[in-house]
Amino acid sequence: MNTPDIQAASIISPLGRLILFADQDGIARIILPGTPLRKDEQRILDRGAGNHPVLERCCRELEEYFAGKRRLFSVPARPPGGTLFQRQVWQLLVRIPYGRTASYGALAEVLGNKKAARAVGRAANANPIPILVPCHRLIGRDGSLTGFASGLANKSWLLEHEHALPPAS
């Protein structure tokens, strides 16, 4: 991600500070609190933000999401890299509706291998654009919250925000 055409922006959300990266094709990465920055990402962030229409649009859409006014994102999202399997999982994640969840095993079954639940989990963990590609909507078959790159507290908050889980007691 160390190219001059990538820019960064950040917004303050109920989760804390989100850092967004975009290139000319769309959002390339979103970093949630609890996820460390790589050195190349810190350099991009240190360059400062210019006017980047995709970043501005994403910030606006995320603010609307956190305010409860947006359920679908229209900003172009172009996660870089990933294996074919990871990209297939990410495409399925986008199909999980707001306010709903799916199990890792259910996605594995859709992909044609009901024993690939752990592989689905690893692919979701590698998702570079959480929230836009809603990996937080994946749960254990028994309804338990398992795995989330930026921590289960963030996953729980996102699911509660979407009314996909009862509020924590």
| Cβ-based neighbour number of residue 97 at 10 Å | 14
Q: Which fold has domain 7-66?
A: Double Stranded RNA Binding Domain (3.30.160)
Greatest Cα pair distance in the chain: 46
DSSP 166: P
Nearest to 80 by CA among 39, 25, 138: 25
Q: Which residues pair with 18 in a beta bridge?
A: 11
Marked catalytic residue, from 102, 133, 135, 158: 135
The domain ranges of the chain are: 7-66, 84-161
pLDDT tens digits along 60-80: 999 999 999 999 999 999 888
135 is catalytic: yes
Q: pLDDT tens digits, residue range 95-137? A: 999 999 999 999 999 999 989 999 999 999 999 999 999 999 9
- The CATH class given to the 84-161 domain equals mainly alpha
